[in-house]
Amino acid sequence: MKTNDKGAAPRSMLRRKLMIGSAALALSLAMAPRPGLAQSPPTSEVNTTGLAVTDDTVTVGILHSITGTMAISETGSVQAEKLAIEQINEMGGVLGRKIEYIQEDGASDWPTFAEKAKKLLVQDKVAAVFGCWTSASRKAVLPVFEQYNGMLYYPTFYEGLEESPNVIYTGQEATQQIIAGLNWVAEEKGAETFYLLGSDYIWPRTSNKIARKHIEDKLGLKVVGEEYYPLGHTQFNSVINKIKLRKPDVIYAIVVGGSNVAFYKQLKAAGIDMTQEKPIVMTISVTEDEIRGIGGENIEGAYATMKYFQSLENENNQEFVSAFKAMWGEDMVIGDVTQAAYLGPWLWKAAVEKAGSFDIDKVREASPGIELTTAPEGYVRIHENHHLWSKTRVGHAKADGQYEVVYETTDLMEPDPFPEGYQ
């Protein structure tokens, strides 16, 4: 609550939080061409709107929950973003400037996210923000980013129905994630009846709406039940009984957070053996991170559809996984969102370099068409609508907590946040 003469306060804050350059990692520097010692363009040219850019640094923000109920999910994203920033710095930074970051805690509380987002944009003048996880937190910060013209890189797979000029969505929107999986289970497994299930909020509801439309209208198959339970719900016995009664071919589960643990344990205890695939359990909400809580033995045999699994066998991913483990510990697991969060700083770097400027408007203009061939998931490209073109994969859960990739779309799935015919 003291006066902040511009410049002085952010710098002192930076010094305090600057943790970059601590561990020199043996990273593959082949991920992108090295700018080397090329002279960096003058600050007055690359920063015309007063962002926190100096002759040798550029400041960005990291805004996730590191306390509260969402901390367990968001920690992976924070780690991935820090890894990406460190790798970029090792390669010489962005336009010859090292990235420094200011980290703020959203504390699993949506108004706090809005407050911190505003602080990052107004007071710290960050050039980009990597952050948010839940839709609610994104909805809370969105007006702030639009009003103060910031750039948010949002990593989570989400329900779609949004297309902000101030957000790059690095996770998949619902149709990308859902449709390929449903097609696969119908074709490969001959599934005909589906039971839809989810936690009660916007993402599971919208996703199931899309799933139902696709199952009934496009595939001509049948939905035999649809139910929702409050977040944090732990008693799934009644729905499990209904499932046993209606005998669906597929249980399509979009249960999130702590409820997952109860749901899969109770499913197993009720005698539904997922490895027998009668019924098949298919989810879009359980990444490797969640399996740590659920226990691999409790979910073995289930299928998940996402764009990334830790077990993906390609060179980019092997390098990413080993760098991640080197920085954060051997026992770390990497889920879909963590990988999407890792893409954020890289996509931003590519856009800044293409624009030749840190100015938000120029970065926004440069963003569509940006491609990353070095992404752990393979290849991604930014669509006109600020979402990513990406492949969708089906993973088969193993007892060790990893997924085995059993299917991958041949083409990139086009992001379609406002899908026609699914409303």
Q: Can you give the binding site for another protein, defined by CB under 8 A?
A: 1-4, 13, 16, 66-67, 103-105, 107, 109-112, 114-116, 118-119, 122-123, 134-136, 139-140, 142-143, 147, 159, 161, 200-202, 205-206, 209, 230-231, 418, 423
190 or 230: whose CB is closer to another protein?
230
Closest contact distance (angstroms) between CB of 116 and another protein is 8
- Beta strand residue intervals within 230-324, DSSP E: 250-254, 280-283, 303-306
135 or 390: whose CB is closer to another protein?
135
Do 132 and 154 touch, CB atoms closer than 8 A?
yes
CA 130 centroid distance within chain: 11
27 or 136: whose CB is closer to another protein?
136
Closest contact distance (angstroms) between CB of 16 and another protein is 7
Do 59 and 102 touch, CB atoms closer than 8 A?
yes
217 or 418: whose CB is closer to another protein?
418
- Listed residue (20, 67, 28, 58) closest to 40, CA to CA: 58
142 or 412: whose CB is closer to another protein?
142
Token pair of 349 as six digits: 């770097």
- Listed residue (348, 341, 335) closest to 306, CA to CA: 335
Closest contact distance (angstroms) between CB of 333 and another protein is 21
Closest contact distance (angstroms) between CB of 233 and another protein is 11
DSSP code, position 216: I
Helix (H) or strand (E) holding 267: helix 259-269
161 or 405: whose CB is closer to another protein?
161
Task: Find residue 104's DSSP bridge partners.
Answer: 63
Sign of the Cα pseudo-torsion (244, 245, 248, 249, in order): positive
Using alpha carbons only, what angle is made at residue 332 by residues 272 and 395, rounded to the nearest 5 degrees?
40
139 or 354: whose CB is closer to another protein?
139
Closest contact distance (angstroms) between CB of 289 and another protein is 19
Closest contact distance (angstroms) between CB of 423 and another protein is 5
47 or 135: whose CB is closer to another protein?
135
Closest contact distance (angstroms) between CB of 299 and another protein is 25
DSSP code, position 252: E
Token pair of 367 as six digits: 């963003």
Closest contact distance (angstroms) between CB of 159 and another protein is 8
Token pair of 418 as six digits: 């406002």
Using alpha carbons only, what angle is made at residue 79 by residues 313 and 401, rounded to the nearest 5 degrees?
45
Token pair of 192 as six digits: 């005909």
Alpha-carbon distance of 329 to 342, in angstroms, equals 17
